[in-house]
Amino acid sequence: MATLSTDVLVIGGGATGASVVWDAALRGLHVVLADRADLVEGTSGRFHGLLHSGGRYVVKDPRAAEECIVENRILREVAADCIEDTGGLFVTTPFDDPAYADRFAQGCRDTGVDCEEVAPAEALRDEPLLNPRISRAFRVPDANIDPWKMVWAMARGAHERSGARILPYHAAVDVHRRGEEVTGARLRDVRTGEELDVEARVTVNATGAWAGKVADMAGIEGVHVIPGRGIMLAMNHRLVDTVVNRCQMPTDGDIIVPIRTVCVIGTTDVHTDDPDDQTVAQEEVDALLDDGERLVPGFRRARALRVWTGVRPLFEDAKEDVRSTRDVTRAHTLLDHAERDGVGGFVTITGGKLTTCRLMAEETVDAVCRHLGESRPCTTTTERLPGSETGEYYHLGERLGRREDNLRNDELMCECELITRGKFEEALRRRGTDNLGDFRRTLRLGMGPCQGGFCIYRATGIMHGIDGMTAEQANEVLLSFLQERWKGVRPILYGDQLRQARLDDWIFQGVLDVGHLKQ
């Protein structure tokens, strides 16, 4: 069996794990990052894309709010290329308690969240589709953040800085214990079945909602993470250009985040026992559509592109009886198992939210350094991510702008997301993957209104043509993408998106007859 030796092994390739890898690499540590699937395939890639100003938490969880605004400012500085500075609004709709607005404004002052009240008419001028009956409106520095771009920038940066090894599709199958010391883990490449032993001075469990399972492997008891399952719904247009929140205690379906070419409404909150539970209940979809109507009248007439489930990792204090996961703190939890369990070389970081991933990583790597007995200062508050060196925010016209430069000499393979063949081939070489889902995340291939209707045949054909893939592999890639996509669209097939789906059927089942490819 192959073996690998490193300073730090990070299990979990979401925003938290990647931030730990980036932070540790900047401190000069050698790191291995492993995830059982693609990076950002779990919770970090399944949220609405909000970079919190903290506004959501100013009344309910002031500590979380304070963390958010501080981290919001830092990420704007170091990860600008992943952020679109949409700004945010909190609006009091006729469905909200009007008294909350004053508590909100006070909460912002108390927690340092920048907040400016504006006249409803001004908010409506900026966002004309908003419910015209709003009575109060506040501007906050919410934004959207692209988790895939950020995590891959961190992974790439960590590799460039200190040779970090990034291992997607490597599941931890065992955590090695030598006496009262965790010494690494055994990984299995889920694509090939090959196993790899990683010997690490410190192992970081950054698996979010799955942290209890990895802690179990290390023989550590009592790490209870309650998965809070929520669904998110992407609409095919930016019905709003600003993040819009209802000005009320945080609840289901009270936020719409414009991100890239779509906007996302979220979310619901259901306690589940299994973090891999991806159920989308019809009632939840119906409820989100109703919530959308309250913020943007006519919401139900817009096209719903896709629905998905994310699980929040909410750490449970075993002493408390928890009924609603929304009542568990949104703040993160760092478990230093040397202190907690007398087991060295092992740290668990869970809970929290994407906005605070950098802070979580800082605290985690501080703990790692304590384990190593070394003092290495954190520099992630000032060190810019690869791609964000200029400090310029991403803006919506960026792809179109780049496209203008090569309009006549590169094929466009995805019209919805403006992906050229050249860009795709470059990603194909860089990722060395044959999973179309990976390109969906990396390039947004198939994320637009047609949900891959046109580009997926093209992508499969290109991969087969240049990658030396067998027909069996190519067919599998195509069929599994179609089935995965079907999961995300089936609960929301109505209106024009059903028409779109039927057109896609026409292509895949009619013109191409892929359902009858020889098995």
Give Cβ neighbours of residue 391 (< 8 Å, ≥ 6 apart). 77, 80, 384
Angle at 327 between CA 336 and CA 138, to 5 degrees: 110
Q: Which is nearer to other proteins, 99 or 407 (CB)?
A: 407
Does position 518 bind other proteins by CB under 8 A?
yes
| Selected range binding other proteins among 70-78, 141-149, 422-430, 481-489, rule: CB under 8 A | 481-489
User: For 425, phi and psi rounded to 5 degrees?
Assistant: -65, -35
CA pseudo-torsion sign 467, 470, 473, 474: positive
Q: Which is nearer to other proteins, 441 or 485 (CB)?
A: 485
Does position 188 bind other proteins by CB under 8 A?
no
| Selected range binding other proteins among 95-103, 154-162, 226-234, 463-471, rule: CB under 8 A | 463-471
Does position 499 bind other proteins by CB under 8 A?
yes
Does position 474 bind other proteins by CB under 8 A?
yes
Q: Which is nearer to other proteins, 365 or 474 (CB)?
A: 474
Q: Are strands 262-266 and 181-189 parallel, antiparallel or unpaired?
A: unpaired
Round to whole Å and give the CA distance between 138 and 347. 40
Does position 413 bind other proteins by CB under 8 A?
yes
Burial 272-302 (b: 16+ CB within 10 A, else e): beebeebebeeebbeebbebbebbbeebeeb
Q: How far is the CB of 422 from other proteins (least distance, A)?
A: 11
Of 329, 403, 475, 476, the one binding other proteins by CB under 8 A: 475
Say if CB 355 and CB 66 are below 8 A apart: no
Does position 509 bind other proteins by CB under 8 A?
yes
Name residue, tokens 């179609």: 482
Q: Looking only at residues 291 through 320 of this chain, which bind other proteins when binding is defined by CB under 8 A?
A: 300-301, 304
Does position 457 bind other proteins by CB under 8 A?
yes
Does position 440 bind other proteins by CB under 8 A?
no
Q: What's the farthest any 2 CA atoms get from each other in the chain?
A: 67
Does position 454 bind other proteins by CB under 8 A?
yes
Does position 173 bind other proteins by CB under 8 A?
no
Neighbours of 432 (CB within 10 A): 9
Does position 279 bind other proteins by CB under 8 A?
no
Say if CB 434 and CB 463 are below 8 A apart: yes
Does position 510 bind other proteins by CB under 8 A?
yes
Does position 517 bind other proteins by CB under 8 A?
yes
Does position 427 bind other proteins by CB under 8 A?
no
Q: How far is the CB of 196 from other proteins (least distance, A)?
A: 32
Q: Of 356, 347, 363, 439, which is closest to residue 152 (Cα–Cα)? A: 439
Q: How far is the CB of 489 from other proteins (least distance, A)?
A: 9
Does position 2 bind other proteins by CB under 8 A?
no
Give Cβ neighbours of residue 94 (< 8 Å, ≥ 6 apart). 131, 133, 135
Q: How far is the CB of 457 from other proteins (least distance, A)?
A: 6
Of 2, 121, 173, 471, the one binding other proteins by CB under 8 A: 471
Q: How far is the CB of 516 from other proteins (least distance, A)?
A: 5
Phi-psi region of 392 (alpha: psi -120 to 50; beta: other; left: phi over 0): beta
Reduced DSSP (H G I as helix, E B as strand, rest coil) percent helix, strand, coil of the chain, to 5: 40, 25, 35
Q: Which is nearer to other proteins, 190 or 498 (CB)?
A: 498
Question: How many residues sit in the footprint of other proteins (CB under 8 A)?
Answer: 51
Of 98, 401, 422, 465, the one binding other proteins by CB under 8 A: 465
Does position 259 bind other proteins by CB under 8 A?
no
Say if CB 172 and CB 36 are below 8 A apart: yes
The string of DSSP codes covering 212-244 is HHHHHHTT-----EEEEEEEEEEESS-S-SSEE
Say if CB 460 and CB 478 are below 8 A apart: yes
Question: Rounded to the nearest 10 degrees, what angle do helices 147-162 and 15-26 cross at?
Answer: 30
Q: How far is the CB of 491 from other proteins (least distance, A)?
A: 9
Does position 412 bind other proteins by CB under 8 A?
yes
Q: How far is the CB of 443 from other proteins (least distance, A)?
A: 16
| Selected range binding other proteins among 39-47, 97-105, 189-197, 502-510, rule: CB under 8 A | 502-510
Phi-psi region of 429 (alpha: psi -120 to 50; beta: other; left: phi over 0): alpha
Round to whole Å and give the CA distance between 188 and 385. 30
Neighbours of 411 (CB within 10 A): 12
Q: Which is nearer to other proteins, 5 or 480 (CB)?
A: 480
Of 87, 409, 423, 431, the one binding other proteins by CB under 8 A: 409
Does position 186 bind other proteins by CB under 8 A?
no
The binding site for other proteins (CB under 8 A) comprises: 289, 300-301, 304, 407-409, 411-413, 421, 454, 457-458, 460-462, 464-465, 470-472, 474-475, 478, 482-483, 485-486, 490, 493-496, 498-499, 502-503, 505-507, 509-518
